[in-house]
Structure 1
């Protein structure tokens, strides 16, 4: 089941886009199903098990939002992951509307293949693991039911009890037990001792000691079960926790069946214990993964919404270009974080990705200490670097072939100190007011990261210093004299000569 292909439904009214999505997702090795309309998608859903739906927001007749609403209204499809393909012009209201209708993520246009594959892969794997867990749960439930029926039929015969004990030992994580209601004696097999973490030699088998191994919150329920057997209950099944002598907590599922005499008195209780700790831990990991995917999707959406909302321009074309640039910067750092399973981003790779278009002509020099940035810090710093490089390419050192850019960083007292030095470009004049890019850079570094961004508009080129705390509670120094940053004499001559 681990390698079984899952179905991924691609919905778009444009065949060219569907073909592009198929090419991008082909290397995942999953089964791709295409639909050219919302109605065709619904027909496919009724006939197939679908893991993930990738749907275009804008379609004739039945758009992506309406399709998502119809899917979520059907009980069978309520847990299917729906990812919207959306263009830049989708409003915040539409995005919120999509999430209310069950979307788990948005993928902006133009689509970044690596990002799309990563998102689809996460939800496909989550679907596969969920199906696998359901399969295991069904198997376990079938085993428990079969075992309970066997106990009810054969508790009066010793030979069948011995067979059950042998089966429990063979299963490895199972144990069986018997309690004599007449004299109060207990009998455990090897599996039961193993589950409870004790040995026949070191553990005196009696009711007091056994109750002492149960979790305090479950011990009272065990007393209630015994009382129910006395009132006529013949079988019982429940989950409970034990505390082994070494302090380890384990989860078990137990079944018990009582045998009574003609007067209704309980003379024997037999049971089976199954260690389900690994299953419980798998469920916890699945829940954690689900929450983590939801958290990352919301973070990415929040950043994208901030970019769209805060970007300003004099024309539609300029606005689109600015938004696309910032979204691309966010996508690049998202790819870096995905490669590390969102554990962090290497500083050198982050800088290299932002400077890549200008690094081939010998204009750029960068380097610094080895550093792994936290995901939130990496995302904000990537957008700040994007603003700096965009400004340099338009007006600064990277706008001419003679220009030079140096980016260096150090780590001191749990603080990142990055210095951006431009030389050899057009003569720099101190701006009379801060542009949106500068204000956005300073706001993101200072408000989101708790750091400082300081600009020195030298005639030979801009010098910018970013001071970013790497852990909570670290305060950057006052930046009034933050620019004891030397510029190489040769670079100064190039800038002034």
Structure 2
């Protein structure tokens, strides 16, 4: 160890001589080892390091000269200083042999303590210096090892980081180019290092000027400014890459020169995402305003054609529900093309089209969002008119609905059979106008043939239709068991809804069918309290309350055995996952649909309460 004591080795076959030498040399920091023979000395030198060996010349078996020669023959002891100790006069020959064997000096007996100490002091000091140098060497070696480890960690971090780490000198010559920079920009380090950045084609002139300004702005040796900017860089193949630059200018050790370290983040995807978000927000605003404009137009035109408020409410609500259901179909398809079969099934499920008297045929096709909304209104009007005046208004009447794919468009044919005798109307109603405006837009056309046996419509869409592949079979909606018309009278209902106008409208609908709204909860906190404490028979639960999930409310109602339904603008996939079997009423709410769901809940009330009791028992 570098902090060990300085060791001297004394070799003499006479114990008294060893004791005398030890007494003369003893001092702080000196450790003296004694050997009585050359063999013992050699063994000790294999184990320990010595600053000096004092060898008696005359020893039995192996004398001092022979021991010195053996020491010079071994790598470990070759450079160990030797002083011979002798009582005999030494002639030139013997003195020469001693120096040839490796001796640095001779001490003669009887020993002069001053001479002994002065000569040994030199080697004691040399031993201390050697020890200190060894300690400094070990310290420097440890520092170098830590430095290398730190540099290795830093390099590994820089190479594996999603950031590009780049260093430039004060003349903007590239001095470092990490593997992250190679991955982002495609420029190899060997092609970049040592070159002025302006010659590489990596950055534009404006960006280079900005980097030069960063270096120039550092005016003090103690300052280490940090800068940031967004700029465009260029890849090896010439692509533009949007980047975020973070720079630190550092003054070199000579205090004269500057360097600039850059960390560069590729933000191309983030830029694209921001642009896409802006585009989507713009598109959303456009669609919302178009939808509101359509609703406004439907409301005004329906009002003009309605005989009274009741007629207006029925017609307007039906058309609004047709639009809402079409939006739901498109949302499920992420507002891309949706199947025509899905739209027809939705109209059947809503009761606009009579499923067992509707005969459809045609290829499986996908309809664009614009055409989907228009056809939703068109089929709603055709089905409503058929129920009022046509084939669905009498038993045995039926509708033949067929279509064919024609280029990028669609030809849809509606033919009624078995209904009342048909004659052309004396005036064109709003339903006819709505069909013309919806289905006939964008270069489409609508033709109607008032045949006595049943009206026939031919609707052509010019574009926005593609062939579908792999569509599954159509599922028929389950029949709803008949319940008493007065099943809701006197029922106590908890209404959980965060939109005040929607809550007001739902309250009126519930009161119109004889139910009593005992409480309206608009926040999650109020909903949890009301669900736990109110005496109620039924509950209407919004699918989301101010952005908070309603799972806890649904759990309380389930434990209490209180039937409830979700009322939400979300699809079923966005509602609490543990309550997918709970019925749902889609917003905007169709009063007839709401009433049917609530009546079904009342009919199932004994079963719901039985299940809740079993759960509580468990």
TM-score normalised over the length of structure 1: 0.57
1:351 Cα deviation from its structure 2 partner: 2.2
The secondary structure found in structure 2 opposite 1:212 is coil
1:348 Cα deviation from its structure 2 partner: 1.7
Distance 2:172 2:310 in 1: 89
1:437 Cα deviation from its structure 2 partner: 1.2
Of 363, 367, 375 in structure 2, the residue corresponding to residue 373 of structure 1 is: 367
Q: What is residue 213 of structure 1 aligned with on the other side?
A: 202
Of 285, 295, 306 in structure 1, the residue corresponding to residue 286 of structure 2 is: 295
Q: What is residue 39 of structure 2 aligned with on the other side?
A: none
Larger Rg: 2
1:314 Cα deviation from its structure 2 partner: 1.1
Taking a change above 3 Å as real, the CA distance of residues 213 and 237 of structure 1, as seen in their structure-2 partners, is same
C-alpha contact (below 8 Å) 1:368/1:409 kept by paired residues:
yes
Unmatched runs of 5 consecutive residues or more in structure 1: 1-156, 473-497
Q: What is residue 427 of structure 1 aligned with on the other side?
A: 421
Q: What is residue 407 of structure 1 aligned with on the other side?
A: 401
* Equivalent runs, 1:276-287 vs 2, <5 Å: 276-287=267-278
C-alpha contact (below 8 Å) 2:182/2:189 kept by paired residues:
yes
Q: What is residue 147 of structure 1 aligned with on the other side?
A: none
C-alpha contact (below 8 Å) 2:171/2:196 kept by paired residues:
no
Taking a change above 3 Å as real, the CA distance of residues 391 and 182 of structure 1, as seen in their structure-2 partners, is closer
C-alpha contact (below 8 Å) 2:375/2:439 kept by paired residues:
yes
Q: Moved runs in structure 1, 4+ residues, more than 6 A?
A: 157-162, 261-264
Of 298, 305, 308 in structure 2, the residue corresponding to residue 307 of structure 1 is: 298
Distance 1:374 1:457 in 2: 30
Distance 1:286 1:443 in 2: 32
Q: What is residue 229 of structure 1 aligned with on the other side?
A: 215
Moved more, 160-169 or 320-329: 160-169
Taking a change above 3 Å as real, the CA distance of residues 160 and 220 of structure 1, as seen in their structure-2 partners, is farther
Distance 1:465 1:283 in 2: 44
Q: What is residue 159 of structure 2 aligned with on the other side?
A: 169
Ranked by relative contact order (alpha carbons within 8 Å, sequence separation 6 or more), the top structure is 1
> How many residue pairs get matched?
311
C-alpha contact (below 8 Å) 2:445/2:459 kept by paired residues:
yes
Q: What is residue 43 of structure 1 aligned with on the other side?
A: none
Taking a change above 3 Å as real, the CA distance of residues 323 and 188 of structure 1, as seen in their structure-2 partners, is same
1:185 Cα deviation from its structure 2 partner: 5.4
Q: What is residue 348 of structure 1 aligned with on the other side?
A: 341
Q: What is residue 477 of structure 2 aligned with on the other side?
A: none
Unmatched runs of 5 consecutive residues or more in structure 2: 1-146, 220-224, 466-618
Distance 1:367 1:389 in 2: 17
1:225 Cα deviation from its structure 2 partner: 2.8
Distance 2:388 2:370 in 1: 28
Taking a change above 3 Å as real, the CA distance of residues 359 and 380 of structure 1, as seen in their structure-2 partners, is closer
Taking a change above 3 Å as real, the CA distance of residues 359 and 383 of structure 1, as seen in their structure-2 partners, is closer
Distance 1:224 1:202 in 2: 23
Distance 2:382 2:354 in 1: 18
C-alpha contact (below 8 Å) 1:229/1:266 kept by paired residues:
no
Q: What is residue 474 of structure 2 aligned with on the other side?
A: none
Taking a change above 3 Å as real, the CA distance of residues 442 and 267 of structure 1, as seen in their structure-2 partners, is closer
Taking a change above 3 Å as real, the CA distance of residues 188 and 426 of structure 1, as seen in their structure-2 partners, is same
Residues 210-261 of structure 1, C-alpha deviation per residue, up to 9 Å, x if partnerless? 65122x4xx3132233045235464422122222123443232222222347
Q: What is residue 83 of structure 1 aligned with on the other side?
A: none
1:375 Cα deviation from its structure 2 partner: 0.7
1:184 Cα deviation from its structure 2 partner: 4.2
C-alpha contact (below 8 Å) 2:164/2:180 kept by paired residues:
yes
Of 223, 241, 244 in structure 2, the residue corresponding to residue 250 of structure 1 is: 241
1:392 Cα deviation from its structure 2 partner: 0.8
- Give the RMSD, CA atoms, in angstroms: 3.0
1:431 Cα deviation from its structure 2 partner: 1.8
TM-score normalised over the length of structure 2: 0.46
Taking a change above 3 Å as real, the CA distance of residues 295 and 162 of structure 1, as seen in their structure-2 partners, is farther
1:360 Cα deviation from its structure 2 partner: 5.8
Distance 1:372 1:411 in 2: 10
Distance 1:358 1:381 in 2: 13
Q: What is residue 101 of structure 2 aligned with on the other side?
A: none
Distance 1:278 1:358 in 2: 46
The secondary structure found in structure 2 opposite 1:466 is strand
Q: What is residue 448 of structure 2 aligned with on the other side?
A: 455
Taking a change above 3 Å as real, the CA distance of residues 192 and 362 of structure 1, as seen in their structure-2 partners, is closer
Distance 1:178 1:358 in 2: 71
Taking a change above 3 Å as real, the CA distance of residues 411 and 201 of structure 1, as seen in their structure-2 partners, is same
1:321 aligns with 2:310: no
Taking a change above 3 Å as real, the CA distance of residues 354 and 225 of structure 1, as seen in their structure-2 partners, is same
Distance 1:427 1:346 in 2: 34
1:264 Cα deviation from its structure 2 partner: 7.4
Distance 1:222 1:182 in 2: 11
